[in-house]
Amino acid sequence: MQLRQFAPFYLLAGAEPYFIDRLAGYLEANLLNGEEKQLNLTVAYGKDADMDTLIATAREFPLLAGQRLVMLKEAQTMDRREEKLAKLEAYLHHPCPTTVFVVTYKGSTPDARHKWVKAAAQVGVCYEAPVLYESEMPGWIQTLAKQKGLTLEPAAQQILVDYLGTDLQRIDNTLERLKVQTGGRTVGRDDVTACTGIAKHNNGFDLQDALIVKDRAKCMRIAMNNTDEIYSITAVLSGYFSQLLAYEYARDKSEAGLRASLRVSPYQLRKLQTGARYYNRMQTFKAIGYLREYDARSKGFGGVNVDADILLRELVYKILNA
């Protein structure tokens, strides 16, 4: 059997578990076929793993297959006082050529000064999963959607950014559901609201759109018939007004300059340009202050319990009159 080209050892670490799981899943799915896995796949989890047994298994030759796969997942949960991972050093100096050994380490990266980490870098692949920032999410969502054969309308993409933030796994799962739900057609705003459970009407995104143009009647109608938790609304609005303040203080007001400095999509930029016509710097600054105040009050800070619906109406009134 011709062996596919895999490194003998993979250390998949970092703060973003999504990428670690994707890479580990790819190796598990592609290195062995179904029948080969029954005899040649060993998976252990950090806290309960016996490192001596794993290393002994890794030194065994595969059975009726070209390679053996040994996976130690959640290695960050191992008792560091016992220095179990340090036992990998001796193995890594002489790894079995027919074994692929995979270690996943989530939440951080192991200290590069450890001898086993240095040995891993010499014989295998050490991958550090990057953390994506909120400004990077529109582009990442668009890329992932294309990979799944989906086309997103700008409004649909923005709701995913605002509602799911940087939770990459939830975004991936949502796009998978949208793929089934839409059957290949362009994904619109209503598709996303239905799929994510966001109320189609009376939610933070509708309120944001109404506040941007100071549509007082619509703002108060939404506030009086709201179905969302107030903290989810303040999160959406805080994100917008914080971006608006950055827009208003940007030195380069050209479209290219603004997109580069703010890292926003053309759709987001148009919303900021609209908002800037209705709110000056001071009004935007006050709106951010009100959002922080009412977010805290909705969570019980301040010592006075006020109904959430009343708080939301007060907040909307103050932003409109900032």
More confident residue, 229 or 99: 99
pTM, to two decimals: 0.69
Among candidate residues 224, 222, 158, the one with its CA nearest the CA of residue 193: 158
**DSSP tag of 3:** P
Q: CB neighbours (10 Å) of residue 133?
A: 10
Strands 68-73 and 41-45 come out as parallel
Of 3.40.47.10, 1.20.1250.20, 3.40.50.300, 1.20.272.10, which CATH number belongs to 204-320?
A: 1.20.272.10
**Residue 2 in this model has a pLDDT that exceeds 50:** no
**How far apart, in Å, are the Cα atoms of 161 and each of 102, 109, 119, 157?**
32, 27, 40, 6
pLDDT confidence of residue 149? 92
pLDDT confidence of residue 303? 58
CB distance 136 to 45 below 8 Å: no
Confidence of residue 3 (pLDDT cuts 50, 70, 90): very low
CATH 3.40.50.740 fits 9-129, yes or no: no
pLDDT in tens, 15-57: 999 999 999 999 999 999 888 999 999 999 988 899 999 999 9
pLDDT in tens, 174-206: 999 999 988 878 998 888 888 876 655 456 788
Share of the chain above pLDDT 90, in %: 55
Sequence-distant (≥ 6) Cβ neighbours of residue 278 within 8 angstroms:
212, 213, 214
pLDDT confidence of residue 193? 81
Q: Locate 155 and state its tokens.
A: 């409004």
Q: Tell me the average pLDDT of the chain.
A: 88
φ, ψ (nearest 5 deg) of residue 68 = -115, 145
Q: CB neighbours (10 Å) of residue 316?
A: 24
Sequence-distant (≥ 6) Cβ neighbours of residue 77 within 8 angstroms:
45, 46, 47
pLDDT in tens, 231-278: 788 888 998 999 999 999 988 888 888 877 888 777 788 899 999 999
pLDDT confidence of residue 304? 61
- Counting Cα atoms < 13 Å in the Cβ hemisphere of 188 gives 3
Q: CB neighbours (10 Å) of residue 303?
A: 6
pLDDT confidence of residue 279? 95
* Packed helices 266-278 and 230-249: angle between N→C axes, nearest 10 degrees: 80
- Counting Cα atoms < 13 Å in the Cβ hemisphere of 282 gives 2
Share of the chain above pLDDT 70, in %: 94
Among candidate residues 72, 24, 67, the one with its CA nearest the CA of residue 51: 72
More confident residue, 34 or 69: 69
134-196: same fold as 9-129? no
Domain boundaries of the chain, sorted by first residue: 9-129, 134-196, 204-320
CATH architecture for residues 134-196: Orthogonal Bundle (1.10)
Q: d(Cα 316, Cα 322) in Å, to the nearest integer? A: 10
pLDDT in tens, 265-298: 777 888 999 999 999 999 999 999 999 998 888 8
**Residue 7 in this model has a pLDDT that exceeds 50:** yes
**Residue 65 in this model has a pLDDT that exceeds 80:** yes
Q: d(Cα 32, Cα 100) in Å, to the nearest integer? A: 11
**Residue 131 in this model has a pLDDT that exceeds 80:** yes
Q: d(Cα 79, Cα 278) in Å, to the nearest integer? A: 57
Q: d(Cα 246, Cα 96) in Å, to the nearest integer? A: 55
